[in-house]
Amino acid sequence: MALQCGIVGLPNVGKSTTFNALTAAGAESANYPFCTIEPNVGVVVVPDPRLDALSAIVNPQRVLPTTMEFLDIAGLVAGASKGEGLGNQFLGHIRQVDAIVHLVRCFEDDDITHVANSIDPLRDIEIIDTELILADMASAEKRYNSVVKKAKSGDKESKIQADALEKVIAGFNAGKPMRNLDLSKEEQATLAELFFLTNKPVLYLCNVSESLVAAAQTPGSHALVDQVREHAKGEGAEVVAVCGSIEAEIAELEGDEKAAFLEDLGLHESGLDRLIQAAYRLLGLQTYFTAGVKEVRAWTVKQGATAPEAAGVIHTDFQKGFIRAEVTSYDDFIACKGEAGAKEKGKLRLEGKEYRVADGDVMHFRFNV
Ligand SMILES: Nc1ncnc2c1ncn2[C@@H]1O[C@H](COP(=O)(O)OP(=O)(O)OP(=O)(O)O)[C@@H](O)[C@H]1O
Ligand SMILES: [Mg+2]
């Protein structure tokens, strides 16, 4: 199953607006069969300028970008961890995603209600984090109570888990999400089966007003976004600033029109493109390419995937019968103007089962079934 990024935040901060812009951008890309799996799950095209450069060399019949999935999650309110609002349902949706885009309202607009009646991104972030921590705390304590007895009776595995749980419970009590705790590999491993919400990787998405979207891109020009940047720095998280409502309009445009519109706004690229790329990295994903005359195509693999695993993304037979991969790094492929040139200059490598795919590799698989 494809990995998913969930858009999480307080009610009415612009989650659906951003989600709709993301999926509209996908629908726009006419050569990709757009689909919505469920009303709130969107398949989004991962923009990649390298596809254009490869196509200019190979001149294929068609070009296919790779995709990722976003989930539009209803607003989380204070008390959700106690079942407030649609609490449990929201938390269930968050549990299902692999990474979180935490959307924070940074735009002023008196016509649009804020659940807490004022614009204060750091307070908002804390409300969400607190609910997620409380939900994790409940599952941690429940497990701790059952596992601690076994630990006392001498069960080694239980002892390891109980100790790790004590550590995270202390962290939760101090208001720290699990992702910010200093845990060993062993502690991470024993806690994995609990699927803690606060262990998911997070990036912050600041939803700013149209008039300040250009300024928001540079640190020091948007006080609220700067606050979020400072907070994110403390946990090594990325921050992206967009104007959700204007992104929907940008997504409708293409080519020169899009470029002109972006320039009017003082932007170089669409915020959604930056968001998608950041979310893709957040999920631990990378891209490799196949480049034939029929099709130039981007494929998604986990960072650290081996060549046979990459082959398996195309077809399970490619993985089962994997013999070797012919690999040219993206830069070499471009510099040598294609596969033939790369071969001549000795830049086309033969790689075996152990090879770890690098982002941008142009690959060709040899297999036997
Ligand atoms: N950057 C922005 N500037 C001004 N208005 C915006 C911006 N982004 C979104 N809005 C407006 O904010 C309102 C709420 O947006 P939206 O429905 O996307 O919120 P939501 O987070 O999905 O809410 P819910 O939690 O109810 O699902 C809409 O009227 C939308 O047009
Ligand atoms: Mg919504």
- Greater pLDDT, 82 or 354: 354
**Domain topology for 132-199:** DNA polymerase; domain 1 (1.10.150)
Q: List pocket residues of ligand 1, CB cut-off 6 Å.
A: 9, 11-17, 74-75, 107, 109, 112, 207-209, 243-245
Handedness of CA 180, 183, 184, 187 (dihedral sign): negative
Domain 4-48+67-119+200-282 falls in which CATH fold?
Rossmann fold (3.40.50)
* β-bridge pairing 285-291 and 295-302: antiparallel
What is the model's pLDDT at position 77?
A: 76
Pocket probe for ligand 1: among 76, 245, 247, 270, the residue whose CB has the most ligand atoms within 8 Å is: 245
- pLDDT for res 30: 37
Q: What is the CA radius of gyration of the chain?
A: 23
Rounded CA separation 359/188 (Å): 27
| pLDDT (average), residues 121-126 | 96
Domain 304-367: which CATH number of 3.40.50.2300, 3.40.50.720, 3.10.20.30, 3.40.50.1220: 3.10.20.30
User: What's the chain's average pLDDT?
Assistant: 91
For 29-78, write each residue's pLDDT tens digit.
433 434 444 568 889 999 999 999 999 999 999 999 999 999 998 888 77
Strands 67-72 and 41-45: antiparallel
Nearest CA owner, ligand 1 atom 15: 14
Q: Do domains 4-48+67-119+200-282 and 132-199 have the same CATH topology?
A: no
| Atom number in ligand 1 closest to CA 243 | 1
Atom of ligand 1 nearest to the CA of 18: 18
* Neighbouring C-beta atoms of residue 12, cutoff 10 Å: 14
Q: Could you tell me the residue ranges of all domains in the chain?
A: 4-48+67-119+200-282, 132-199, 304-367
Q: 148: how many CB neighbours lie within 10 A of its CB?
A: 17
**1 pLDDT tier (thresholds 50, 70, 90):** low
d(CA 309, CA 331): 23
